Structure 1
Amino acid sequence: MNRVLLAEFLKDRRARTRPSEAGLPEGTRRRTPGLRREEVARLAGISVDYYARLEQGRGPHPSRQVLAALGRALRLFEDERAHLFRLAGEQPGPPRGLSREVSPGIRHLLERLDDTPAFVIDAKYDLLAWNGMAVRLMGDPPPEPNMIWNAFCGPMPLSEDAPAEFQSFADESVADLRAASVRYPDDEGIRALIARLRAASPEFTRRWNQHRVCVRRTTVKTLTHPVYGELELECQVLHADEGGQRVVFYTAAPGSHTAGVLNGLREQASV
């Protein structure tokens, strides 16, 4: 355990973590933008004195439970969490479960993208956030938030004679879900989704039993819009954090029919 480096790391991350990121009010009487020691201690479920001694480089060896709690309190990314464990002389365990809380920064990014449909999903394809352009292009989000469930068990479930593009999405999403199940072996939500799908969809089960693994990245998607017809969209995927969140952007080639449609949707919003 390197007490000095551990203390420096904790102080640095505390100073960088804004109260709003930890679900606390910003307040108006703060000398610095970061968290106070007592706030970190309260969020981690430890005493203020114990946390102060860790920051002063004179604390006892923290347990794995305390390290995990500090990682959550300070909103550490997975690589930062692993670094914290190693500074304390521990090997980091498997990644935490999926993150469902979309950061204020990502939400601000979605709002600023007034010409690009964009939304956030987690590693099991739950829809977590979206912007106005996504709604104008694809309509309101469905009551069932999971995109894989909707593909296999929604109002228009995948069939054996579905178009090749839908078959490709199904193949890749199932392979992606299998990768997520290995990366997050203790996540109850992933396990429950897989069990539901295997019980409800032979098409999902057939693909799941193929044991394919992949992580979805940039691809081209054809969308049939009820008003504008066939649209060819470039689907860009940004991996937003180590909790499995991804931001998906839909863009179009400049000068294309699809680009014209997106521009028209943007202008509709400004009227």
Structure 2
Amino acid sequence: MHSRTGLGTALRAWRATIGPADVGLPVVGRRRSPGLRREELALLAGISFDYLVQLEQGRATRPSAGVLQALADVLHLSTVDREVLYRLAGSVVPPSGSVPSEVPAGVQRMIDRMTDTPVAVFTATWDAVQWNPLWGQLFGTPSDLVSGPGDALARNMIWGHFSAETPAGVSGVERDTAHTDAFERMMVSDLRRAADRYPDDRAVTELIDGLRAAPRFDELWARYETLPLAGSHKTIVHPELGSITVDCDILAVEHADLHIVMNWAVPGTRDAEKIDALREQAATAAR
């Protein structure tokens, strides 16, 4: 789709998904078509009606960053849709402020229902923000690692891999050489993408500065690799049950910029039996 017509098509589609009540406007009578009218969007975005018509018809190109930001705000665009808007307009996507850590209600409901699988939610920079009881039984509860404000890095998966020692009573992770290399390269690449999206977040800068003291991280950081997120295979050394081998899958929640990490043991194996035992422990603790 050509960017000129694509921008207009996208604006019309987004406008149709936002009702007057969503933006604080009174609803008077029935409407022939859903969503905001052009004059309403133009008014709320602070642009002229004629200019919005030109944008939607592809006759106006290169809207300013201020216009794009206003349209994104009024249309309640997600992070992903906001990037689409800027790219269709031929403009550079502005960096976001701070790394988001809020877990949407839908994600929370999914975690609450996944009682059979160790699952946790991480920010774009891999800070643990939510986990289910089975994850806590398998890896140790992330909140237990934090005893004060200065220990916040202990919740960060990348920091834990490259820099931190495994505390007593918390599971360690073993990978063979090939899996370790793939995991490290993937995580460093993903952290670089997050740093590009949030250049003004001081916590991200401090995390990276601290990690660069680790020779392996510093070596990978200097490569400027771009790798997709993918699943992995690992063996968890549990302090009570010993080795538990699992497969790990990562889901990206784009609109919230979060990662959902899930671990699976092959059914019918000794590893699956150990996960079952941890599930019973989690249920007992809950009761």
Whether the TM-score (by the shorter chain) exceeds 0.5 is yes
Alignment of 1:244-255 (within 5 A): 244-255=257-268
- The answer for the alignment partner of 1:209 in structure 2 is 222
| Counterpart pick for 2:205 among 173, 181, 191 | 191
8 Å CA contact 2:42–2:52 kept in 1: the answer is: no
Pairing 1:76–2:78 present: yes
- The answer for the alignment partner of 1:94 in structure 2 is 93
What is the CA-CA distance between 1:124 and the residue it aligns to?
A: 1.9
Which consecutive unaligned segments of at least 5 residues does structure 1 have?
16-31, 40-46
- The answer for the alignment partner of 1:29 in structure 2 is none
Report the secondary structure of 2:18's partner residue: helix
- The answer for the alignment partner of 1:22 in structure 2 is none
- The answer for the alignment partner of 1:129 in structure 2 is 130
Which consecutive unaligned segments of at least 5 residues does structure 2 have?
27-39, 56-62, 147-151, 168-172
Does the C-alpha gap of structure 1 residues 210 and 63 become closer, same or farther in structure 2, counting only changes over 3 Å?
Answer: closer
Percent of aligned pairs sharing the same letter: 27
What is the CA-CA distance between 1:110 and the residue it aligns to?
A: 0.8
Q: CA RMSD in A?
A: 3.7
CA distance in 1, matches of 2:219, 2:265: 33
Q: Which amino acid aligns with 1:147?
A: M
Q: Which amino acid aligns with 1:9?
A: A
Larger radius of gyration: 2
CA distance in 1, matches of 2:220, 2:100: 26
Per-residue CA shift, 1:181-208, capped at 9, x if unaligned? Answer: 45x273534433222222x323322332
Report the secondary structure of 1:224's partner residue: strand
8 Å CA contact 2:46–2:70 kept in 1: the answer is: no
Q: Which amino acid aligns with 1:170?
A: E
Does the C-alpha gap of structure 1 residues 106 and 176 become closer, same or farther in structure 2, counting only changes over 3 Å?
Answer: same
What is the CA-CA distance between 1:49 and the residue it aligns to?
A: 8.1
Does the C-alpha gap of structure 1 residues 248 and 58 become closer, same or farther in structure 2, counting only changes over 3 Å?
Answer: same
- The answer for the alignment partner of 1:108 in structure 2 is 109
Does the C-alpha gap of structure 1 residues 131 and 213 become closer, same or farther in structure 2, counting only changes over 3 Å?
Answer: same
- The answer for the alignment partner of 1:228 in structure 2 is 241
Alignment of 1:1-271 (within 5 A): 8-15=12-19, 35-38=22-25, 50-51=43-44, 63-71=64-72, 74-78=76-80, 80-85=81-86, 90-94=89-93, 96-97=95-96, 98-141=99-142, 142-143=145-146, 144=152, 145-156=155-166, 165=176, 167-168=180-181, 169-182=183-196, 184=197, 186-188=199-201, 189-198=203-212, 200-241=213-254, 244-271=257-284
Per-residue CA shift, 1:147-197, capped at 9, x if unaligned? Answer: 11222222349xxxx965484343432233234445x27353443322222
CA distance in 2, matches of 1:217, 1:208: 19
8 Å CA contact 2:102–2:256 kept in 1: the answer is: no
Q: Which amino acid aligns with 2:22?
A: L
CA distance in 2, matches of 1:163, 1:270: 27
Does the C-alpha gap of structure 1 residues 75 and 263 become closer, same or farther in structure 2, counting only changes over 3 Å?
Answer: farther
Does the C-alpha gap of structure 1 residues 55 and 129 become closer, same or farther in structure 2, counting only changes over 3 Å?
Answer: farther
What is the CA-CA distance between 1:227 and the residue it aligns to?
A: 1.2
8 Å CA contact 1:7–1:57 kept in 2: the answer is: no
CA distance in 2, matches of 1:5, 1:213: 31
Report the secondary structure of 1:234's partner residue: strand
Report the secondary structure of 1:35's partner residue: helix
Does the C-alpha gap of structure 1 residues 106 and 57 become closer, same or farther in structure 2, counting only changes over 3 Å?
Answer: farther
What is the CA-CA distance between 1:216 and the residue it aligns to?
A: 2.8
Moved more, 135-144 or 68-77: 68-77
